[in-house]
Amino acid sequence: MNINHFLILNCIIGFFSDITLNILSNYNFMNLNTLLPYFENQSMIYLAIYASIITFVLALICINIYKIIFNKLSNIEFIYLAIIAFIIGYIADVIADKLNTFPKMRLFYDTVGSGPWGGLSILFSVVLSYFILYYYNK
């Protein structure tokens, strides 16, 4: 797997996922409306770029942890990478909550908590990027 392509895909997925969340925050769907204060009065593109940078950094951390544990980057075992991605996303979300990195997301964190949604978001990006590259390279 080409790591540069993997990281670029994660950026793109993070960008469009944030735009999707921005749109869904206008509806009462799975408590996503609690994200509305975060998205209000902000440029959709600016926040999506910010999300893509965060996704890039977290995907890079996942890849580096994988490399440290398994001492290689070729033939990435999907399940291990997925587990690492969830754990890193979970930890990053909890840290962002505890440090109040995104004060306008307080309603979201108070309603749904921190951790699992952050873990799932990075897991989604990493898994989707992995499968896109897997099928593209076949």
pLDDT digit string (tens) for 7-46? 999 999 999 999 999 999 999 999 999 999 999 999 999 9
The 10s digit of each residue's pLDDT in 67-111 is: 999 887 776 788 999 999 999 999 999 999 999 999 999 999 999
Check: CB of residue 35 under 8 Å from CB of residue 21.
yes
**pLDDT tens per residue, range 71-83:** 877 767 889 999 9
Angle at 90 between CA 49 and CA 14, to 5 degrees: 20
Beta strands, E only, 2-113: none
Q: Which of 69, 63, 60, 19 is nearest to 42 (CA)?
A: 19
Tokens of 40: 């209000």
Higher-confidence position of 60 and 2: 60
Please, are residues 128 and 4 in contact by the beta-carbon 8 Å criterion?
A: no
Global confidence as pTM: 0.92
Of 102, 130, 133, 129, residue with least CA distance to 21 = 102
